[in-house]
Amino acid sequence: MPAAIRVLRLISSPRGAESESLRLSHQVLDGLAGRHSLEVQDVDLNDLQHVDRDYAMALASPSDSDQAETGSARQRSAELIRQLDEADVLLIATPMHNYTVPSTLKAWVDHIVRIRMTFNGTPQGKVGLLRDRPVYVALASGGLISGEQARQPDFLRPYLQAALATVGLKNMHFFCVEGTSRGEHALLEARAVAQSQVAAFFSVE
Protein backbone atom coordinates (compact mmCIF):
# COMPACT_ATOMS: atom_id res chain seq x y z
CA MET A 1 0.00 0.00 0.00
CA PRO A 2 1.43 3.44 -0.91
CA ALA A 3 2.51 5.63 1.96
CA ALA A 4 0.01 8.22 3.10
CA ILE A 5 0.58 11.75 1.90
CA ARG A 6 1.15 14.27 4.64
CA VAL A 7 -1.25 17.21 4.61
CA LEU A 8 -0.49 20.31 6.67
CA ARG A 9 -3.75 22.21 7.22
CA LEU A 10 -3.58 25.78 8.49
CA ILE A 11 -6.72 27.04 10.23
CA SER A 12 -6.88 30.82 10.44
CA SER A 13 -10.53 31.64 11.11
CA PRO A 14 -11.47 32.64 14.67
CA ARG A 15 -14.90 31.02 14.18
CA GLY A 16 -13.66 27.50 14.82
CA ALA A 17 -15.96 24.69 13.71
CA GLU A 18 -18.48 27.24 12.38
CA SER A 19 -15.97 28.59 9.89
CA GLU A 20 -16.99 28.44 6.23
CA SER A 21 -13.35 28.17 5.18
CA LEU A 22 -12.84 25.20 7.50
CA ARG A 23 -15.99 23.57 6.12
CA LEU A 24 -14.68 24.03 2.58
CA SER A 25 -11.29 22.63 3.56
CA HIS A 26 -13.02 19.42 4.71
CA GLN A 27 -14.31 19.04 1.15
CA VAL A 28 -10.80 19.51 -0.22
CA LEU A 29 -9.61 16.78 2.14
CA ASP A 30 -12.42 14.55 0.85
CA GLY A 31 -11.21 15.17 -2.69
CA LEU A 32 -7.65 14.27 -1.75
CA ALA A 33 -8.82 11.19 0.16
CA GLY A 34 -10.45 9.89 -3.00
CA ARG A 35 -6.96 9.51 -4.46
CA HIS A 36 -4.65 8.98 -1.50
CA SER A 37 -4.56 7.89 2.09
CA LEU A 38 -3.94 10.97 4.22
CA GLU A 39 -2.09 11.98 7.34
CA VAL A 40 -3.48 15.37 8.34
CA GLN A 41 -1.76 17.72 10.75
CA ASP A 42 -3.90 20.67 11.81
CA VAL A 43 -2.30 23.89 12.98
CA ASP A 44 -4.62 26.51 14.49
CA LEU A 45 -2.98 29.85 13.79
CA ASN A 46 -5.15 31.84 16.18
CA ASP A 47 -2.67 31.43 19.04
CA LEU A 48 0.43 32.02 16.93
CA GLN A 49 2.70 34.71 18.31
CA HIS A 50 3.92 37.39 15.98
CA VAL A 51 7.59 37.80 15.18
CA ASP A 52 9.46 39.83 17.77
CA ARG A 53 12.59 41.97 18.16
CA ASP A 54 14.92 38.96 18.54
CA TYR A 55 13.55 37.46 15.33
CA ALA A 56 13.87 40.75 13.43
CA MET A 57 17.42 41.36 14.66
CA ALA A 58 18.48 37.83 13.70
CA LEU A 59 17.13 38.18 10.18
CA ALA A 60 18.84 41.53 9.76
CA SER A 61 22.23 40.06 10.70
CA PRO A 62 24.63 38.62 8.08
CA SER A 63 24.10 35.12 9.48
CA ASP A 64 21.07 33.74 11.30
CA SER A 65 22.23 31.34 14.02
CA ASP A 66 20.21 28.19 14.56
CA GLN A 67 20.42 28.80 18.31
CA ALA A 68 17.17 30.23 19.68
CA GLU A 69 15.73 30.44 23.16
CA THR A 70 13.04 27.95 24.08
CA GLY A 71 9.64 29.48 23.39
CA SER A 72 11.05 32.31 21.31
CA ALA A 73 9.63 33.47 18.00
CA ARG A 74 12.73 32.16 16.23
CA GLN A 75 12.24 28.71 17.69
CA ARG A 76 8.57 28.77 16.68
CA SER A 77 9.58 29.91 13.19
CA ALA A 78 11.96 26.96 12.84
CA GLU A 79 9.22 24.58 13.97
CA LEU A 80 6.71 25.99 11.48
CA ILE A 81 9.27 25.75 8.66
CA ARG A 82 9.98 22.14 9.59
CA GLN A 83 6.25 21.33 9.51
CA LEU A 84 5.93 22.89 6.08
CA ASP A 85 9.08 21.22 4.74
CA GLU A 86 7.85 17.77 5.82
CA ALA A 87 4.37 18.16 4.30
CA ASP A 88 3.47 16.77 0.88
CA VAL A 89 0.46 19.07 0.57
CA LEU A 90 -0.33 22.44 2.14
CA LEU A 91 -4.01 23.21 2.77
CA ILE A 92 -4.92 26.70 3.97
CA ALA A 93 -8.38 27.37 5.40
CA THR A 94 -8.82 31.12 5.60
CA PRO A 95 -11.42 33.84 5.59
CA MET A 96 -10.84 37.14 3.82
CA HIS A 97 -10.44 40.00 6.29
CA ASN A 98 -10.59 43.52 4.90
CA TYR A 99 -9.72 42.40 1.36
CA THR A 100 -6.71 40.27 2.34
CA VAL A 101 -5.43 37.57 4.70
CA PRO A 102 -6.30 37.71 8.41
CA SER A 103 -3.49 38.70 10.75
CA THR A 104 -3.21 35.10 11.99
CA LEU A 105 -2.24 33.87 8.53
CA LYS A 106 0.01 36.89 7.94
CA ALA A 107 1.88 35.96 11.15
CA TRP A 108 2.47 32.45 9.78
CA VAL A 109 3.76 33.88 6.51
CA ASP A 110 6.13 36.15 8.44
CA HIS A 111 7.50 33.12 10.28
CA ILE A 112 8.08 30.91 7.24
CA VAL A 113 9.31 33.46 4.69
CA ARG A 114 12.78 33.53 6.22
CA ILE A 115 16.02 34.44 4.50
CA ARG A 116 18.71 31.72 4.48
CA MET A 117 16.15 29.14 5.58
CA THR A 118 13.33 29.22 3.00
CA PHE A 119 14.74 31.65 0.43
CA ASN A 120 18.01 33.28 -0.58
CA GLY A 121 18.49 36.81 -1.78
CA THR A 122 20.35 37.05 -5.08
CA PRO A 123 21.15 39.87 -7.53
CA GLN A 124 18.27 38.53 -9.62
CA GLY A 125 15.83 38.56 -6.70
CA LYS A 126 14.62 36.12 -4.06
CA VAL A 127 15.01 32.41 -4.82
CA GLY A 128 12.91 29.88 -2.93
CA LEU A 129 14.63 26.98 -1.18
CA LEU A 130 11.64 24.70 -0.53
CA ARG A 131 10.49 22.02 -2.96
CA ASP A 132 7.28 22.83 -4.77
CA ARG A 133 4.14 20.87 -3.90
CA PRO A 134 0.37 21.35 -4.20
CA VAL A 135 -1.09 24.20 -2.17
CA TYR A 136 -4.87 24.31 -1.80
CA VAL A 137 -6.56 27.39 -0.37
CA ALA A 138 -10.12 27.10 0.95
CA LEU A 139 -11.25 30.71 1.05
CA ALA A 140 -14.41 32.29 2.47
CA SER A 141 -15.38 35.89 1.78
CA GLY A 142 -18.35 37.87 3.04
CA GLY A 143 -18.72 39.67 -0.28
CA LEU A 144 -18.29 38.65 -3.90
CA ILE A 145 -14.72 38.70 -5.20
CA SER A 146 -15.13 36.92 -8.55
CA GLY A 147 -17.21 37.44 -11.66
CA GLU A 148 -19.16 40.39 -12.99
CA GLN A 149 -20.96 41.03 -9.69
CA ALA A 150 -17.77 41.38 -7.63
CA ARG A 151 -17.79 44.68 -5.77
CA GLN A 152 -14.72 44.45 -3.58
CA PRO A 153 -10.99 44.11 -4.23
CA ASP A 154 -9.16 40.85 -3.66
CA PHE A 155 -5.62 41.24 -2.37
CA LEU A 156 -5.65 37.84 -0.65
CA ARG A 157 -5.05 35.57 -3.63
CA PRO A 158 -2.28 37.62 -5.28
CA TYR A 159 -0.61 38.14 -1.90
CA LEU A 160 -0.54 34.43 -1.06
CA GLN A 161 0.70 33.58 -4.55
CA ALA A 162 3.56 36.06 -4.25
CA ALA A 163 4.48 35.21 -0.66
CA LEU A 164 4.51 31.44 -1.13
CA ALA A 165 6.31 31.67 -4.47
CA THR A 166 9.09 33.43 -2.58
CA VAL A 167 9.85 30.19 -0.72
CA GLY A 168 9.31 27.96 -3.78
CA LEU A 169 5.61 27.04 -3.56
CA LYS A 170 3.98 27.85 -6.91
CA ASN A 171 1.52 25.00 -7.52
CA MET A 172 -1.48 26.81 -6.02
CA HIS A 173 -5.22 26.18 -6.32
CA PHE A 174 -7.98 28.36 -4.84
CA PHE A 175 -11.52 27.32 -3.96
CA CYS A 176 -13.89 30.04 -2.78
CA VAL A 177 -17.21 30.26 -0.99
CA GLU A 178 -18.25 33.85 -1.67
CA GLY A 179 -20.97 36.08 -0.31
CA THR A 180 -21.24 34.43 3.11
CA SER A 181 -22.78 37.60 4.58
CA ARG A 182 -25.58 37.88 2.00
CA GLY A 183 -28.18 35.80 3.81
CA GLU A 184 -28.97 32.13 4.35
CA HIS A 185 -30.24 31.42 0.84
CA ALA A 186 -27.19 33.03 -0.79
CA LEU A 187 -24.91 31.15 1.59
CA LEU A 188 -26.43 27.79 0.68
CA GLU A 189 -25.97 28.61 -3.00
CA ALA A 190 -22.38 29.72 -2.40
CA ARG A 191 -21.60 26.48 -0.56
CA ALA A 192 -23.03 24.44 -3.43
CA VAL A 193 -20.98 26.37 -6.00
CA ALA A 194 -17.78 25.91 -4.01
CA GLN A 195 -18.46 22.23 -3.46
CA SER A 196 -19.01 21.71 -7.18
CA GLN A 197 -15.72 23.49 -7.91
CA VAL A 198 -13.85 21.16 -5.57
CA ALA A 199 -15.57 18.07 -6.95
CA ALA A 200 -14.87 19.09 -10.55
CA PHE A 201 -11.21 19.77 -9.80
CA PHE A 202 -10.54 16.41 -8.18
CA SER A 203 -12.52 14.51 -10.78
CA VAL A 204 -10.17 15.55 -13.59
CA GLU A 205 -6.87 16.35 -11.88
Is 13 a known ligand-binding residue? yes
141 is annotated as contributing to ligand binding = no
Is residue 203 marked as binding? no
* 46 HSE (CA, 13 A, CB side): 12
- Find the helix or strand (DSSP H, E) in which 40 lies: strand 38-44
Instruction: Name the nearest CA neighbour of 31 among 203, 156, 146.
Output: 203
20 annotated as ligand-binding: yes
Neighbours of 199 (CB within 10 A): 14
Question: What span, in angstroms and rounded, lies between the C-alpha atoms of 205 and 200?
Answer: 9
Cite the annotated binding site for FMN by residue number.
13, 19-21
Cite the annotated binding site by residue number.
13, 19-21
